[in-house]
Structure 1
Amino acid sequence: MSLSFPILLLLALAGAMCVGLLAWGFLLMRSETNVAVDMTDSPKAITKDDDETFILHRITEGIGRPFLPTVQAYVDEQRVQNIQRRINLAGQPDNLTVERYLSRKAGEVLLYGILALFCLFSDQIMFALLALGFIALTDISLHTEANKRQDEIQRQLPDFLDVLAVTVGSGLSFRQALSRVADSMPGVLASEFRIALRQMDLGTSRREAFQALRSRNNNESLGRFVTALQQAEELGSPLADTLMTIGQDMRREDAQYLRRKAQKLNPKITGITAATMLPGLLLLVGGGLLLGGTIDLGGVFSGE
């Protein structure tokens, strides 16, 4: 008696969970020190961001967490810095850290890799490829969040600089004006400037704080703003005039950025339009030819 594919898939999931539990127990038996540390550590508070974590990320993170020490042993410092930069570019979604990222990746490789092998042995090649694609789910999420975050920074930057220039021109110091504008204009950009202000309050110089701000974001307009601000500070230019000039340049760059983005959307819109309208157009044209022609459909279907 042959089993259906959903039943086989459920059996494969159960087998994968059993293998994961056995590997987890073996790892715990081999690392007594890690077990003692885990038992004495105080549990972390569950925040709202943790509650909103995608369910698949929770599952893969739980599966891969026991293998985190092994994975960390094979990840060098350069790779850790690269992962941290990608997390920073995405704004640390779900309070993501390098350790949680590595746990998710280990869980994704184990879970979706086993599913892909099972589907491949069952001659389900399309399902196997789909399962392999889910291995990159965390990376795709980070890339999507980073692009959305940088687009938001691009939209907020011109208005933020205009208000900052007016505030500085009213007589406030740069740090006071920056703090007031960041509090009055909430958003991603304001959060980044608040982090820079907090670093300066802790003793970091303005130059180092803004360099860290630029390293956390890959937005070109924000990078040029930081460069122009540092040059104005070194040359002793009036800060209000410099901010006003930078704000005008940012608005021109924002308009160019929107035009470039619209140009990239044109081929996508054309493809979607063609994919949705072409089948209906073919049916309309073909039906019109058949109805308006001299073909005797009754004779064709009756076999006469």
Structure 2
Amino acid sequence: MMSPLWPALAATGALVLFLMGYRMLRGRVADYLDASDLILLDDERRREAVTRTSPLTRLAGRFATRLRRLISPAVLDALQRQVDYAGRPPGVTVESLLRRMCWWLLLMIPVGILFVVQGQLVALPLLPLVAVLVPLMPVAARARRRREAIDRDLPDFLDILAVTVSAGMSFRGALARVADHFSGAFSDEIRLTLGQLSHGSSVRVAFTGLAQRTGSVAVRTFVTAFLQAEELGAPLATTLNQIAVDMRRDSAQRMRRKAGQTAPRVTLVTSMVLVPACLILVIAGLVIGADIDFAELFEAFS
């Protein structure tokens, strides 16, 4: 007879293999493959991504390469600034924006042919404008929300930074400590700036890049005041406190301007929606209450 030890060992081995497979399934691929296997896996995924794309997307990618050669460097720099202002989201680059523009432009070709057939040549210049604006609008909206978040977090960031610097910590150490305390777009930009400083970049170049990447007037003011204090030897904590006070005053002024712009919008909505509805309700009530026979009225006019 077979010993009961072998089924027990087989069941234990099956359980161990199941647990190892489940761990590999839930883990990262990079933990189990070497560098050459990872390169092959990336190439395979890239080929699968290319084969999964539609023919229109592949055609737009070919046109995007030619479009990049035709566009001036100033326009490319403007697109790159928009991507930086949006926080460099995953998958959003200048190349992807150009590819998306070409995709929309190819999609608008049948619409343009339809306009030409119908003789509506005036609407043709709107099609390239739509092809450019549709990919840029989400990036611009993301950049605007990110800039508002940076302007909102900057005064509190500077207050805590001033307290940390006053406690005797070095400026870079204080920046790193406060950046770890906060979470958001400005903290990410500060970490990127500290990384540039640790890799040998100068203070002026690193902080000028910080102001350029955010696109915020408040951050630009902070960078200008900080560089002046760094070069002239002014007390840094006093400068940071003064900048925070100025930022809060500017934020309060922006809030008052937004509140002033809200009243005309409410008035417009009231005029466009409530007033016509009330007029229709009053006129309908008068007609029903007067008991007018519209049939006899129309016969009298005919």
Mapping for residues 68-217 of structure 1, pairs under 5 Å: 68-112=64-108, 114-120=109-115, 123=118, 134-135=130-131, 136-217=133-214
Q: State how many pairs are aligned.
A: 255
Structure whose alpha-carbon radius of gyration is higher: 2
1:178-227 CA-to-partner distances (Å, cap 9, x unmatched) read 11111111001111111111111111111111111111222211111111
Unaligned ranges ≥5, structure 2: 1-39
Bigger drift between 129-138 and 278-287 goes to 129-138
Aligned to 1:23: none
Mapping for residues 274-285 of structure 1, pairs under 5 Å: 274-285=271-282
1:252 Cα deviation from its structure 2 partner: 0.8
1:234-277 CA-to-partner distances (Å, cap 9, x unmatched) read 22122112111111111111111111222233333322232221
Structure 2 residue 222 is matched with structure 1 residue 221: no
Mapping for residues 193-272 of structure 1, pairs under 5 Å: 193-272=190-269
| Rounded Cα–Cα distance in structure 2 between residues aligned with 1:266 and 1:214 | 34
Instruction: Give TM-score scaled by structure 1 length.
Output: 0.73
| Rounded Cα–Cα distance in structure 2 between residues aligned with 1:159 and 1:78 | 36
| Rounded Cα–Cα distance in structure 1 between residues aligned with 2:101 and 2:67 | 9
| Rounded Cα–Cα distance in structure 1 between residues aligned with 2:238 and 2:56 | 52
1:133 Cα deviation from its structure 2 partner: 5.9
Unaligned ranges ≥5, structure 1: 1-39, 51-56
1:41 Cα deviation from its structure 2 partner: 11
Aligned to 1:12: none
Aligned to 1:167, what secondary structure does the other structure show? helix
1:59 Cα deviation from its structure 2 partner: 9.0
Task: Tell me how large the CA RMSD over aligned residues is.
Answer: 3.3
- Identity over aligned residues, as a percent? 36
Q: Is the 8 A contact 1:115 1:128 kept in 2?
A: no
Instruction: Give TM-score scaled by structure 2 length.
Output: 0.73
Q: Is the 8 A contact 2:211 2:223 kept in 1?
A: yes
Q: Is the 8 A contact 2:164 2:174 kept in 1?
A: yes
1:132 Cα deviation from its structure 2 partner: 5.9
Q: Is the 8 A contact 1:60 1:104 kept in 2?
A: no
